[in-house]
Structure 1
Amino acid sequence: MSKAGAPTLTVDATGLRVAVVAASWHDRVMGGLLDGARRGLAEAGVTEVTEVRVPGSFELPVACAQLARTGGYDALVALGVVVRGGTPHFDYVCSAATTGLTDVSVGTGVPVGFGVLTCDDEQQALDRAGLPGSSEDKGHEAATAAVATVLAIRTALSPG
């Protein structure tokens, strides 16, 4: 979700079980994303949260896939950051993370909140990390979107 036109999601996700899978690169940005996700889940009433750290954004899909297949989680939140450099590495990692996380969600039916920042430079990442002075809080948005999607699906599938 981009800042312009982003919905305000207020959800009661009490009783949901959520795993947050976070990359380790860019420690300061990741700290902000994790804090935002924790805050979003707490505000939604989620108390059962498991946090898993992986090396980088490329590893997010495999970790999410394994967690989704356990059946132990209602939603997953994937957090990472990829900063453009001078090689095509950025394009490959962004594409792999995006496609992989989409495949996990669609293939398992477990919503995955997408909190992977794909930025041209570190300042863009800091602006989106939910840190003091940041203009956006993508960790919070990803967590809230994941649990809101669980609730929307449950509502759509519930009889009556």
Structure 2
Amino acid sequence: MSGTGSPELTVSDATDLRVAVVAAQWHRTVMDGLLDGAQRALDDLGVTTRTVLRVPGSFELPVAAAVLARQGVDAVVALGVVIRGGTPHFDYVCQGVTEGLTRVSVDTGVPVGFGVLTCDTEAQAIARAGLAGSTEDKGHEAASAAVATAAVLRAATEPGRWPVAPTP
């Protein structure tokens, strides 16, 4: 989700959803902002059942998300940051994390909120981390998106809701 043009998410009832947040430890200031934003979103949405795990870096997010998704949570929020350096490491990590988190979501049917910043500079990451003076709050956005998707999936799988007529 981008800060410009992002949708207005409405979640009618998320109080009984179980949400896991997995956050990397690299770039502590940025990560603390992302995690605070995710926690605020869960508070705003009334989610009280949550687990927070910290892993060493962004590359470790997919395996932790997979384990959490298989534990019966309704949504996972993955938070990390990868800042471009002078080697191809950035490209490999970003691709691996993105593909890994996508696979977790599709393979398990559990929504994964993508709160992984992939930035050229630390200043760009700070601007998106939800800190004082930041222009965006990607941790809040990722948690909100994961919970909203979990709520939609729950509503779509409730007895009596199917078949749903396709929209034109």
TM-score (norm: length of structure 1): 0.97
Counterpart CA distance in 2 for 1:116 and 1:155 is 27
Correspondence for 2:36 = 35
Equivalent residue, structure 2, for 1:156 = 156
- The answer to whether the Cα contact below 8 Å between 1:10 and 1:44 also exists between their aligned partners in 2 is no
d(CA) in 2 for partners of 1:98, 1:118: 10
1:8 Cα deviation after fit: 1.9
Whether 1:124 aligns to 2:119 is no
| CA displacement at 1:74 relative to structure 2 | 0.6
Aligned to 1:93: 93
Secondary structure of the corresponding residue to residue 9 of structure 2 = coil
Corresponding position of 1:13: 14
Conserved 8 A contact 1:21-1:63: yes
- Secondary structure of 2:15 counterpart: coil
Match of 2:144 in 1: 144
User: Superposition RMSD on alpha carbons, in Å?
Assistant: 0.8
Q: Does 1:59 align with 2:60?
A: yes
Distance 1:135 1:8 in 2: 17
Larger radius of gyration: 2
CA–CA distance in 2 between the matches of 1:90 and 1:128?
A: 18
Query: Could you give the per-residue CA deviations for residues 35-61 of structure 1, whole angstroms, max 9, x where no partner exists?
Result: 000000010000011100000000000
Deviations 1:125-145 (A, max 9, x none): 000000011000000000000
Count of paired positions: 159
| Partner secondary structure for residue 8 of structure 2 | coil
Counterpart-to-counterpart distance in 1, 2:70 and 2:151: 19
What SS is found at the alignment partner of 2:77?
strand
- Report how far residue 114 of structure 1 moved: 0.3
Identity %: 71
Q: CA deviation at 1:10?
A: 3.0
Specify every segment of 5 or more residues in structure 2 that has no aligned partner in the other structure, as ranges: 162-168
Aligned residue for 2:76, secondary structure, equals strand
Q: Is the 8 A contact 1:78 1:115 kept in 2?
A: yes
| In 2: Cα distance, 1:47 partner to 1:23 partner | 22
